[in-house]
Structure 1
């Protein structure tokens, strides 16, 4: 899409050069973000011949500009003429992959991988491999760090001799004298193992992995942990048990809590690779040790994996090995440990069954429901359906209600909002009678909460509850208290109640809609506050499709016509809009 005149064809690159030389970084950033448009204007040939060389030299700029350039170049293969010319993008990205700022380097490596995937096989050997060698042999550690992320994309598309050369080069990076390089090598080793032939993983890469797991720097060891899953998959169950199991057990007892934390995060994936039998016989002790780790952060990570890990165990082992730890964690000194446990402990109930759940887990649930930390109680309540399906809610109801009431009146509005969002779920679990007696009054209180988000969420909750319990129950138990609140002295609460009326309109029988909800909405059309009046107009418009013609002509339209002559401009606007909506119910 080149411009027509010769002078105009020079304009895009000239504009870009001027913008990039501008003193304002914002303008330079904007120009970089328009690179695709400029490339289209220049055409493929001039993009390769002028724009890319210019960008190759423009690597001394603000980090934000360089980051944007690295990102844009990853999308540039179509602009330079497709895969056959994709290698033209490697020089500017190679420069960006060596800068000091980490986020720029990471983005440059990501874009290099995108470009590398589109290179033809010949281009990988001729252009990408030499680039990897240059970066891996660079004097400054930044280039060597960046090189680690490129091996996986190049390796599968190379001949055997070049592959061997790359494996040797990666071995050098794993033993680099600079910890940052060893960290990068450890971080990418798992993905590289997935690309290397399986017979060579055990022979050549596993020794590298073993060396990294024994590195003096804990930052290197903890990143090596992340490679365990990939090695487990590559080695197969037998090789994994022989080679990986000792490493994982050593990691679980590492002197650095950060390494142990990573093990706790990765252990379930490793267990799935090793199989249930190995998990029960060899990894269960390690997991129990992590649950009782002296560092709270490790216990948080392990507690969050209790349910997932237990899926690989028998009910007897869960009772004998896991539930004692669960009971301890329920009383942990760290609120974050208790919160992590509360989020998953309920999921143990289906695995244990009714009897063991009542005996071993019910006391834990009840203790967590009384926890002083709101997040703990919220996490328990959000997973109540798990235990309800096993033992029924009756055993929990006595302790559940005080916890709900306390959360419902918490001073932090986000806590109140969180419990409110769980109310429809609880309503379905507890049943209509329990809800009507214990939770219904609280829902009405939420309609008058000082925080608007709470009031809005309350109307949504009432609508869901109405659908849950049906039209007749809604008519008897929800409509009367809601309609009674229309007379609230505070106009903000009257507006909320109007929203609740609209939310319930579709969930009640037609006689209730016409005889109770509609008159309440019409009455609000005469409210002294304009905001209430125009909200009443909106509600009438929402109700209109649910009403018959007699109700529309006898109640809705007269009220809206009166509002159409209101002294407030906003009221007149919404009234006119509602009248039009009544006459055109099928309009988009």
Structure 2
């Protein structure tokens, strides 16, 4: 082959693969663009490969998405930053396609490229592209343009900055709602706005190994004077938009603008919009306000919280829509941390009491996760008087999710009122939940037992909870039995090995003689887990003899689990340098099991012998 033919070979192969019927093959060809570019060299990549990609690739969305991603990392292959602007040509076309995911990736890649270019390149090449996209006939190009302003603004002259602000204002007032939504999103959101994606789009992102990167807020690139003079007018227009899908995005804008202003300036410039959004006719807008209420409150200052947001918060806690009340419930402790205790008791707590009996399970579940956060704010006396009755009510809720959520946060209450009061008030309800028909509730109780045990002490635990912990070992659900064995190991770590020898080990070893094979199986799991927290004496006197006895069990499942248990014990004994027990007891038992009639028993026994 002649030199010229060799030079043309990479592009010829690429053309063939990109025209192939198989999407996977075409996708792999795009993924190899960097290799082809290296073979061509920077000059031929600029002169041949980039024009070819720009003119010839008219493919499925998966291919275009991969191409948009590759181009964002292509600067070095075209000769470095001095030639980076060449990549804007294909990216401009990709930013105007119909598929949203492709456009987003093209915008992301263009923003990465512009960050390394000189001011001259940005003004000569990026600005014209941005203008073309901003006034494009199709809304897709104008939507993409909204995401390109923040990246360019710091890199251009003041005159061009004025032009960019003017063009962005036009996009905020665009006739198409999709463009106004994009303008509102990129005006303030610090990360790319993620809409709900179809399974197909999620698949595309998975195939192309999509990674989100943070993008600047456009307002963050502006001075306060420009925010007040140029951004506030378009923000006010967006906040009064006829489309609620646009108005709800202005909540993020409101927070972003408030971050740039002082509290007294917030009163002057954004208070009226804040009031209107808090009482918006659309529940979706009120939901966004509720979801961001703490973040919003922290930015506007104490005066606005006291004069306006306190009453607004009460209203959203009583909102007619369950979704709004759910979002507001998650904000209760965060907002209460910004107001006084007296206000919490007089204004917020009555609403919380109503939410405890809310008709919506989702509202009660959200509140159950957060209500314990009020305990440190109210103090011991008010927690006992006002919160404990609410905890008891939530612990008896008909929805298992509500009960789970309140159980998982009891440690916060314990820090305030102490374990003695907590046990007197809530322990009966917790014991009742230990036998709950929902196994996930029982599981949540088990996971919290070691924490309660460490705070209750040995005497109280042995009296109230010891039998309960043992009963879980016979639960009908495997996940509960497994969690119960792990729970015993944690209890040994809390109370010590001597306690285990006197209390739980005799009960576990008694289960080894039970007629039900599930109890014998659980015994194997329990001694395997306990061995990891036990001392050599316990392993010698209790665990190894029990495992040896069970190695002759008539049930094959028990025998191969004994072999697996010995596989756990071998490293422990080696570490303790107890080779006598290993050689005299464990190896003979494993050798016998390695000749078992059951194939699985032989496999695990032989596997354990390899480590012995």
TM-score > 0.5 by shorter chain: yes
What is the aligned partner in structure 2 of residue 556 from structure 1?
Answer: 586
Q: Structure 1: which 5+ residue stretches go unaligned?
A: 583-588
**Structure 2: where are the runs of 5+ without partners?**
189-216
> What pairs up with 1:323-402 in 2 under 5 angstroms?
323-397=349-423, 400-401=426-427
Q: 1:121 to 1:501 in 2, by over 3 A?
A: farther
- Please name the residue that 1:27 is paired with: 25
Coordinate RMSD, CA, aligned: 2.5
- Between 1:437-446 and 1:78-87, the stretch displaced more is 437-446
Correspondence list, 1:33-48, <5 A: 33-48=31-46
User: Which of 102, 105, 108 in structure 2 is aligned with 1:107?
Assistant: 105
Per the alignment, in what secondary structure is the counterpart of residue 65 of structure 1?
helix
Deviates more, 1:105-114 or 1:312-321: 105-114
Other-structure match for 1:527: 553
SS in structure 1 at match of 2:449:
helix
Quote the residue 2:510 is aligned against.
484
Pairs aligned (count): 580
CA deviation vs aligned residue, 1:359-381 (integer Å, no higher than 9, x gap):
12111111111111111111111
SS of the aligned residue for 1:464 comes to: helix
Indicate the residue corresponding to 2:262 in structure 1.
Answer: 236
2:315 is aligned, of 289, 303, 327, to: 289
2:298 aligns to what?
Answer: 272
Residue 328 of structure 2 aligns with which residue? 302
State the distance in 1 between where 2:258 and 2:220 align.
Answer: 10
- In 1, Cα distance between equivalents of 2:46 and 2:554: 70
Q: Counterpart of 1:585? A: none
Task: Quote the residue 1:120 is aligned against.
Answer: 118
1:447 and 1:42 mapped to 2: Cα distance?
68
Once the two structures are superposed, what CA deviation does each residue of 1:409-431 show, in whole Å capped at 9, x if it has no partner? 55554444444433333433444
Q: Does 1:510 align with 2:536?
A: yes
Q: Return the alpha-carbon distance in structure 2 between the equivalents of residues 567 and 13 of structure 1.
A: 63
Q: CA deviation at 1:21?
A: 1.5
Deviation at residue 295 of structure 1 after TM alignment: 0.9
1:437-516 equivalences under 5 Å are: 437-488=463-514, 494-516=520-542
Contact 2:122/2:156 (CA < 8 Å) preserved in 1?
yes
Moved more, 432-441 or 282-291: 432-441
Q: Tell me whether 104-113 or 512-521 shows the greater mean CA deviation.
A: 104-113
Once residues 294 and 76 of structure 1 are traced to their aligned partners in structure 2, the CA distance between those partners, rounded to angstroms, is: 53
The 3 A distance-change label for structure 1 pair 52 and 447 is farther
Residues 54-453 of structure 1 aligned to structure 2 (within 5 Å): 54-58=52-56, 60-190=58-188, 191-397=217-423, 400-401=426-427, 403-405=429-431, 407-453=433-479
| Structure 1 equivalent of residue 207 of structure 2 | none
What displacement does 1:454 show? 3.6
Could you state the TM-score of these two structures normalised by the residue count of structure 1?
0.92
Instruction: For residue 360 of structure 1, give the secondary structure of its aligned residue in structure 2.
Output: helix
Q: Quick one: distance in 2 between partners of 1:8 and 1:493?
A: 73
| Gap change, CA 1:153 and 1:542, over 3 Å in 2 | same
* 8 A contact 1:20–1:28 mirrored in 2: yes
Is the CA contact (8 Å cut-off) linking 1:36 and 1:76 kept in structure 2? yes
Distance in 2 between residues matched to 1:472 and 1:569, nearest whole Å: 39
Indicate whether 1:580 and 2:606 are aligned. no
Change in CA separation of 1:551 and 1:24 when aligned onto 2, cut-off 3 Å: same
Shift of 1:153: 0.5
Distance 1:59 1:427, change over 3 A: farther
Range that drifts further, 401-410 or 194-203: 401-410
Report the secondary structure of 2:92's partner residue.
helix
